[in-house]
Amino acid sequence: MKRFKNLFVFVLGMALFLGFTQFAEAGKLGYLDLSKIFDNYQKTKEFDAVLEQKNKDYEKDRNIKIEKLKEAQGKLALMAEKEQEKMKADVEQMRQDLIAYDQAQRTDLTKQRDEKIREILLEIEKIVSEFSKKEGYDLILNDRVLIYGDTTMDITDAILTKMNESYNKK
């Protein structure tokens, strides 16, 4: 049993060693800061501004609806009993409409944001692939999986420059 364990450790060690030497011979390596590229990409900044304006417009409309609801609730206390029943139904409808409006707007904004994020990430992937092929890179890593990387292997700024140049040409 001890021989088997020693043989297993030896075989595992050799496999790791051979795998590492193959990796070391892989060629040109690089890494990038995906968050920095995403956040500083001009298209991302422009979309963030558009999304921020849509969110402000939504908040403005929502606040108007809330004020109308509060106003109706305030009037409710001043009405006669017979009028209150009809007004209660109207107030409840306004409340339900506000909830539906909130849900629809948030869903729409989230959907737009997710679609744009997906689109931008695909553009980043495309530019990185083209850059890697052109510059002879065999492997590009995201810096989130790195424990250490020599700064000479960081291609973040080069990729970001390419992306913004490409976007500005459109």
Q: How confident is the model at residue 40 (pLDDT cuts 50, 70, 90)?
A: very high
Looking up tokens 């020693």, which residue turns up? 6
pLDDT at 108: 94
pLDDT at 167: 87
- Bridge partners for 139 per DSSP: 29
- pLDDT tops 70 at residue 7: no
What is the DSSP code (8-state) at residue 37? H
The CB-based long-range contact list for 108-115 (8 Å cut-off, 24+ gap) reads: 109/51, 109/54, 109/55, 109/58, 112/51, 112/54, 113/51
* Cβ atoms within 10 Å, residue 93: 11
Backbone angles phi, psi at 79, to 5 degrees: -90, 160
Give the pair of three-digit tokens for residue 36.
């920095």
* Domains of the chain as residue ranges with CATH: 2-169 (3.30.910.20)
Q: What is the mean pLDDT of the chain?
A: 83
- pLDDT tops 70 at residue 165: yes
- pLDDT tops 90 at residue 45: yes
CA 138 to chain centre: 27
Residue range 76-116, pLDDT digits in tens: 777 777 788 888 888 899 999 999 999 999 999 999 999 99
Q: What is the DSSP string of 99-168?
A: HHHHHHHHHHHHHHHHHHHHHHHHHHHHHHHHHHHHHTEEEEEEGGG-S---GGGB-HHHHHHHHHHHHH
State pTM to two decimals.
0.70
Give the pair of three-digit tokens for residue 169.
């040409």
Residue range 107-162, pLDDT digits in tens: 999 999 999 999 999 999 999 999 999 999 999 998 888 888 888 888 999 999 99
Q: How confident is the model at residue 18 (pLDDT cuts 50, 70, 90)?
A: very low
